Structure 1
């Protein structure tokens, strides 16, 4: 057989060779695609698109706003057509985000929406969304492996998300404080990261001090990168953030703060759900909240909301207090009873599985004791022991 080149051989076999098309995207297109990929990962994890609502965690609410903005972009459907197999862009945008707590700059920064250098002022352009190249650079800082004992960290991440949503913690641009210590939380590569361990101090090649870290990520992985590597990655990541430590501050004060309500009510609810587990432990399962208005208005239509277990509720206790910082008070209850949070998954009105939060397996008399200790100032140093269902002194 005479020598033939590859193209001739493929032609003889009836194989058509399509020319390779060069794909060159603009910076704007790269950012739009990267932002949509985050939303797709959420869909793959939860089986649905991100939704608005106070009962949802901060990241889902951010993704929901981002999806609304993408739906408004004229070129998005064409650009993302091959990626959008769940057809997320075909839905209708719903502007249901509470922006009262943020000024304009803070809202745009947190939601990843804003201006690019060439299109200043256009709120339909995504900001703080990294290109694929930037993502790979961050991921190559250290090898990530599956975290074998992730279950002991899962509740920590859930609590941090609640702290962010309630304002107990803030996400600040990395750099104002570049320190890294045990117990610090960061956002790197769009993932919550927790510094679980800081190893012994070692000398870097340049003579400066460094240390090997054990960093746990909210997606169930971990890495053993060096402290300076983590710092460099956070500096390079436009969306890199340090989470502040929780500062409960005074619950009752003579000074009025933005979240204070002059006269408010702590209320305790009991569910009328016919779910087998709820029915069996009805006397023990309670939801605790704080309101400055009428409780009746707060719980109206409870049977239509997964927050209330899709069932009516009964008000079993109320406590009138004055000059309350609502956010700090609710966060204190959630932190105190975090280990006793109800772990229950139910189907919502559309048949999708949801896990209502803010319900706790705590006896009513313990809640009453907590409130009394709040008033007289003796709660400090006490923790809730789920085994004995009582308050005990912390060790």
Structure 2
């Protein structure tokens, strides 16, 4: 076994390490500390989620969280820097820090050594919200075409609200006044403070994944601009835009317009208004059904009366009073047509008989038999040829003579 003196030197760069030549943890921590030490002093913004300040201590500690994602850093700051702030620092406040990143090798953790701290004013916060609004609008997140219609009668209404809040009471009571059997799936979460965005987003995702929930209401009562900032958070706005279930925004009062109002599928002016919008009014629906049934009965009654009048009019016609009258007319027409056809057929037969008689007389007059009856005869050779010329005859030739009634033979005695 080789001694420590014989071991190969450790690699200088992380890319040169290998299973045979790894860095020990202490060296990695030192390398990270050296890298972090090269970073310049910088300004960083975040939300204070925890503040620890012990009496008599010169250093205070706080946790700075990114309001858009679940990520935070520990910060050490001199007490005199906190005392220099115009107002005492409280949890949930938005601040900007001038700090130097520091890596603690013993604990293997990164923290910030703050030099200055300033609160983020309401005007600046509103300006950032307005900038985010324009950015999201340019992406089409607020387009009316992507908004989903609310269901007529949801099976279950999802409700995201504060714990034991008046907004929950307003939504539930007003909805049940309109439709007593409505069901709610309520998720009570923080609606202000550093965890509000994360809890509201998680509750929305849970309700959106529930197939029984047909609409989700995000409700909160009124409050200051800082209190309502979570509902203008980009992460929450994008989560609402991506939700499969229609979302109703019921934040604050009419004058409060967080970005959630623009991305939601329907904006309620108050939580009370949301309770009235998510379900129909049972009394109004019953009245509508009653009126529709009355209109249907009236229409059916008018149709029956009209058909009855039409039937009476049809039955009052002469043909319906005496059905055989129409048959008699048709029978007389048929008899007249039959007589006319018979007369025409007989006339055609008579004309044809006359024509046959005329043709028979013509044929008889033109026939050879008629010529023979006038005394003429037909003389033929023994082979049947008709004698047409005397030169064809020979003495003692036997000829056949045909007369009107019969024939006889003759012999040529001589030729003149």
TM-score (norm 2): 0.23
TM-score (norm 1): 0.24
> Structure 1 or 2: larger helix share?
2
Larger Rg: 2
